[in-house]
């Protein structure tokens, strides 16, 4: 089953490699991993999307907690949470496709952030599913480039991951 | 007064009470060696290979309750040390490794003897640090010792670039340490302890299974009390031998792949299992599916939450320091009004006696050829069961574990998790330095000993009167055994040809060598060797090359699917 795990750790050189090394050494999946400093620059917040049986997820949780530089771990998917991902798609936008592409971007509440006479670059945010749907909805042959951030997640309401 | 980073490093070791540092000099640690030279509080033991430095620090730590310290240079110094670090990591041994690094300005430029030490060692240390500021050396070393010893112990590496060890700053050693993201479990849960004790009192087929955690937590007194109070059978893992006295009537022997029949059957068919500082690893419970076929309730005490329910699902997990948890269990047990019904477990003991009746450690004695098991039995007699025994890895290791009855903790020193050949001799050096008046023997084979044999030179330099008990069967015995059982007698590369004359070799290093070829000479030779209190004696026992280790639960099989000597 897919799980989205949040963790708070020291913003130290090498901290990311301790996490990614743990996943590769123990054979855990990483679907996506995002990391950036928090409002307190000495700490980083990481969101990892992974999958595995309940036993594997329990081990991932415990092994992450065991890392010396990790403050706290939360399996967001155990409760109400929000997740968002950002995608930039560069598409060919000429002729009839130019209007169609703008219309699709509007439908998906995307915005066009760069325009040339032949291309648009569309910015979209949402769940991973929504971004997938957009890519399926447009003419695949027009896609020149896509780049996605991977999911960032946060608990709803009172579910707070803080030191 | 300002000190250099190197001087600060040594001052930190002094403050931590480090008696010995095991190491090997090189370019990146020259400043640190200079600082060592100018003091005599911390003694340096010059090994002949960095792997041995770490094993020696490891043996020192295992035979005491102290943190071992190793010092190596950058690049190959570190890569040589990695085997030792991984060995300590797998067995959770508290250790601090100080490594030199190329100067900060050269890092990343593929400088001479540069290696990404923090990267290479990351998967086999509890934690590691690269110190980039001379002002952080003291606090980092303080943290390193704290991390190594607290919680689940383990090796911690501190990498110090050469320019940092030469810069100057003021020195004050922090009196306390706190790491805001690190809080080893301290408490234990009273509710869980009550439930655990209740379950133990209701058990009809109980078993207590303890591992290295009992040794590391110095909890063998509590464990022994608990086992006696409950009247239950107790088994130890390879790492846990000595945690409960082997000569006690409630001891059913070691369990696992080469464990006794009674221990393994008891594990398989018990109704309540109390696991103490052990981790249900593959060499202990074998096939988990097979193990889970029998219904039993499991209580698991461990300081590391990730060890609990990792391979085997546990009913009552108790996270905490094993000694403290056992203290609480003892108190709870003594406060209970109900008297333990020892009659209720009498049928279970009768069953265990029946299993014991198999006499699974039986082997055919011989007057013609030396049986390796008999050497260990004689070693036990000659040393009155009171020696420190280190071992390498293979058949000799299993025989030592099976036939030397360890009554005290920290007497059995072996590489259980990683299974590192070459561990025994350097580990014995650390043990002997920590216990200068004790008898220390290294049980080894002609394969393993050659992996770190250069340390005979270190033993000479530091006057270490070790007794090397080499069971020489001319085969990589455990490999040969598996090839015999599972690979149709095809002995691919397991026969060792062109062995050196170990007696001459020992003599060349300035030691005494004794070759023993006849069973009747075993005991007198051992007595002679242990009588030479000030000399290292290298004993070459020419043993039966076809002898196998029994019982055996082969990899992937269940604990009750055991092969006994009589089955073949």
Is B112 catalytic? The answer is yes
Q: Which of chain B's residues have a Cβ under 8 Å away from the Cβ of A65?
A: 305-306
- Taking CA atoms, what residue in B is nearest to A64? B306
Is B162 catalytic? The answer is yes
Q: Band of the pLDDT at A16, cuts 50, 70, 90?
A: very high
Return the closest-CA partner of residue A78 out of A159, A135, A14.
Answer: A159
Asked if the ipTM is above 0.90, the reply is yes
Q: Which of chain B's residues have a Cβ under 8 Å away from the Cβ of A9?
A: 181
How many A/B residue pairs have CB atoms within 8 Å?
36
Q: Which of chain B's residues have a Cβ under 8 Å away from the Cβ of A66?
A: 304-306
Cα–Cα distance, B329 to B423 (Å, whole number): 36
Contact B305 A69 (CB under 8 A): no
Is B371 catalytic? The answer is no
Q: Band of the pLDDT at A150, cuts 50, 70, 90?
A: very high
Contact A14 B126 (CB under 8 A): no
- Pairing type for strands B512-516 and B537-542 reads parallel
Give the per-residue pLDDT at B185: 85
Return the closest-CA partner of residue B94 out of B128, B58, B118, B40.
Answer: B58
Cα–Cα distance, A47 to B31 (Å, whole number): 43
Return the closest-CA partner of residue B164 out of B223, B104, B233, B99.
Answer: B104
Cα–Cα distance, B81 to B71 (Å, whole number): 9
Q: Which of chain A's residues have a Cβ under 8 Å away from the Cβ of B180?
A: 71, 163
Catalytic-labelled residue, pool B112, B313, B381, B504: B112
Give the per-residue pLDDT at B340: 79
Return the closest-CA partner of residue B390 out of B242, B222, B280, B245.
Answer: B242
Give the per-residue pLDDT at B472: 98
Q: What are phi and psi of B491, to 5 degrees?
A: -90, 70
Could you read off the pLDDT of B507-564 as tens digits, one per residue?
Answer: 999 999 999 999 999 999 999 999 999 999 999 999 999 999 999 998 889 998 888 8
Minimal C-alpha gap between A69 and chain B (Å): 6
Give the per-residue pLDDT at A162: 87
Per-chain mean pLDDT for chain A: 96
Do the domains A82-152 and A2-79 match in fold?
yes
Give the per-residue pLDDT at B496: 87
Q: Per the structure block, which two tokens stand in for B131?
A: 């110190």
Could you read off the pLDDT of B226-271 as tens digits, one per residue?
Answer: 999 999 999 999 999 999 999 999 999 999 999 999 999 999 999 9
Specify whether the CB–CB gap between A135 and A92 falls below 8 A: no
Tell me, rounded to whole angstroms, the distance of Cα B455 from its chain centroid.
19
Give the per-residue pLDDT at B427: 98
- Taking CA atoms, what residue in A is nearest to B152? A66
Signed CA dihedral, B318, B322, B324, B328: sign only: positive
Question: Which residues are B552's β-sheet partners?
Answer: B563
Q: Give the angle B253-B254-B260 at the CA atoms, nearest 5°.
A: 70
- Please give the average pLDDT of every successive group of 10 residues along chain B, which has 568 residues: 97 98 98 97 98 98 97 98 98 98 97 98 98 98 98 98 98 95 84 95 97 98 97 98 98 97 97 97 91 96 94 95 96 85 93 97 96 98 98 98 98 98 98 98 98 98 98 97 95 93 98 98 98 98 97 90 81
Is B126 catalytic? The answer is no
DSSP B43-94: EEEE-SSHHHHHHHHHHHHHHSSSPEEEEE-STHHHHHHHHHHHHHHHTT--
- Pairing type for strands A43-51 and A32-37 reads antiparallel
Contact A10 B181 (CB under 8 A): yes
Please state the domain extents for chain A.
Answer: 2-79, 82-152
Contact A58 B123 (CB under 8 A): no
Contact B309 A58 (CB under 8 A): yes
What number does CATH give the domain A82-152? 3.30.70.1150
CB nearest A25 (choices: B123, B127, B182): B123
CB nearest B118 (choices: A14, A66, A68): A14
Contact B181 A17 (CB under 8 A): no
**Under an 8 Å CB criterion, which residues of A touch B?**
9-10, 13-14, 17-18, 21, 25, 55, 58-59, 62-63, 65-66, 68-71, 163
Give the per-residue pLDDT at B568: 66
Give the per-residue pLDDT at B321: 95
Q: Which of chain B's residues have a Cβ under 8 Å away from the Cβ of A68?
A: 126-127, 147, 179, 181-182
Give the per-residue pLDDT at B337: 73
What number does CATH give the domain A2-79? 3.30.70.260
* Optimal mutation site among A66, A67, A69, A73, interface B, most CBs of chain B within 10 A: A66
CB neighbour list of residue B555: distance below 8 Å, 6 or more residues apart: B257, B282, B286
Could you read off the pLDDT of B374-408 as tens digits, one per residue?
Answer: 999 999 999 999 999 999 999 999 999 999 999 99
Cα–Cα distance, B147 to B184 (Å, whole number): 9
Specify whether the CB–CB gap between B447 and B476 falls below 8 A: yes
**Residue B445 CB: number of other CB atoms within 10 A?**
29
Classify residue B6 as exposed, middle or buried by CB count within 10 Å of its CB (0-12, 13-18, 19+): buried
CB nearest A70 (choices: B118, B147, B181): B181
């Amino acid at each position: 089953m897919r799980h989205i795990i949040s963790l708070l750790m020291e913003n130290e050189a090498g901290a990311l490699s301790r996490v990614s090394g743990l996943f590769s050494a123990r054979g855990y999946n990483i679907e996506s991993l995002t990391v950036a400093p928090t409002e307190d620059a000495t700490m980083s917040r990481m969101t990892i999307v992974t999958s595995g049986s309940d036993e594997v997820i329990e081990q991932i949780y415990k092994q992450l907690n065991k890392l010396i530089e990790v403050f706290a771990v939360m399996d967001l998917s155990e409760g109400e949470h929000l997740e968002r991902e950002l995608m930039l798609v560069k598409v060919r936008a000429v002729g009839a496709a130019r209007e169609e592409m703008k219309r699709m971007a509007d439908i998906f509440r995307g915005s066009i952030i760069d325009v040339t006479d032949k291309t648009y670059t569309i910015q979209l945010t949402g769940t991973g599913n929504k971004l997938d749907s957009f890519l399926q909805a447009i003419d695949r042959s027009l896609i020149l480039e896509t780049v996605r951030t991977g999911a960032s997640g946060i608990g709803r309401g009172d579910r707070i991951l803080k030191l | 007064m300002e000190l250099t980073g190197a001087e600060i490093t040594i001052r930190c070791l002094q403050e931590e009470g480090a008696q010995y540092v095991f190491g090997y000099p090189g370019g990146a640690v020259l400043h640190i060696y200079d600082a060592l030279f100018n003091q005599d509080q911390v003694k340096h033991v010059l090994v002949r290979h960095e792997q041995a430095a770490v094993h020696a620090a490891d043996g020192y730590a295992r035979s005491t309750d102290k943190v071992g310290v190793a010092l190596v240079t950058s690049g190959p110094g570190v890569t040589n040390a990695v085997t030792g670090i991984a060995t300590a990591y797998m067995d959770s041994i508290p250790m601090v490794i100080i490594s030199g690094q190329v100067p900060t300005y050269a890092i990343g430029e593929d400088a001479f003897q540069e290696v990404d030490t923090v990267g290479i060692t990351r998967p086999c240390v509890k934690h590691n640090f690269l110190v980039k500021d001379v002002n952080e050396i003291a606090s980092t070393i303080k943290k390193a010792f704290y991390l190594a010893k607290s919680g689940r112990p383990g090796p911690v590496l501190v990498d110090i670039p050469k320019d940092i060890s030469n810069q100057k700053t003021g020195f004050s050693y922090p009196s306390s340490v706190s790491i805001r993201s690190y809080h080893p479990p301290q408490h234990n849960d009273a509710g869980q302890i009550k439930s655990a004790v209740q379950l133990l009192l209701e058990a009809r087929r109980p078993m207590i299974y303890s591992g290295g955690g009992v040794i590391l937590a110095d909890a063998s007194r509590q464990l022994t009390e608990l086992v006696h109070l409950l009247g239950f059978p107790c088994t130890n893992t390879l790492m846990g031998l000595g945690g409960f006295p082997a000569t006690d009537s409630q001891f059913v022997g070691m369990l696992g792949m080469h464990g006794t029949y009674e221990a393994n059957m008891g594990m398989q068919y018990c109704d309540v299992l109390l696991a103490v500082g052990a981790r249900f690893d593959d060499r202990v419970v074998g096939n988990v599916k097979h193990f889970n076929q029998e219904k039993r309730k499991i209580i698991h005490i461990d300081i590391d939450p990730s060890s609990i329910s990792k391979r085997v699902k546990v009913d009552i997990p108790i996270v905490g320091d094993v000694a403290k948890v056992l203290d609480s269990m003892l108190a709870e047990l003594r406060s209970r009004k109900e008297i333990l019904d020892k009659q209720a477990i009498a049928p279970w003991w009768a069953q265990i006696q029946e299993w014991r009746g198999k006499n699974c450690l039986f082997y055919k004695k011989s007057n013609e050829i030396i049986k390796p098991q008999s050497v260990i039995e004689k070693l036990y007699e000659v040393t009155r069961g009171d020696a420190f025994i280190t071992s390498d890895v293979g058949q000799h290791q299993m025989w030592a574990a099976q036939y030397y009855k360890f009554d005290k903790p920290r007497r059995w020193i072996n590489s259980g998790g990683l299974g590192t050949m070459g561990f025994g001799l350097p580990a014995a050096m650390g043990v002997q330095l920590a216990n200068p008046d004790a008898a220390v023997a290294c049980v080894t084979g002609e394969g393993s000993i050659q992996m770190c044999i250069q340390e005979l030179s270190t033993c000479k330099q530091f006057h270490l009167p070790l007794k090397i008990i080499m069971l020489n069967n001319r085969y990589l015995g455990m490999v040969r055994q598996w090839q015999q059982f599972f690979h149709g007698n095809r002995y691919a590369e397991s026969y060792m040809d062109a062995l050196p004359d170990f007696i001459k070799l020992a003599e060349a290093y300035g030691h005494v060598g004794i070759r023993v070829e006849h069973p009747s000479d075993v005991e007198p030779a051992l007595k002679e060797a242990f009588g030479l209190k000030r000399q290292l004696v290298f004993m070459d026992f020419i043993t039966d090359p076809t002898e196998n280790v029994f019982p055996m639960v082969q990899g992937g099989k269940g604990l009750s699917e055991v092969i006994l000597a009589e089955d073949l």
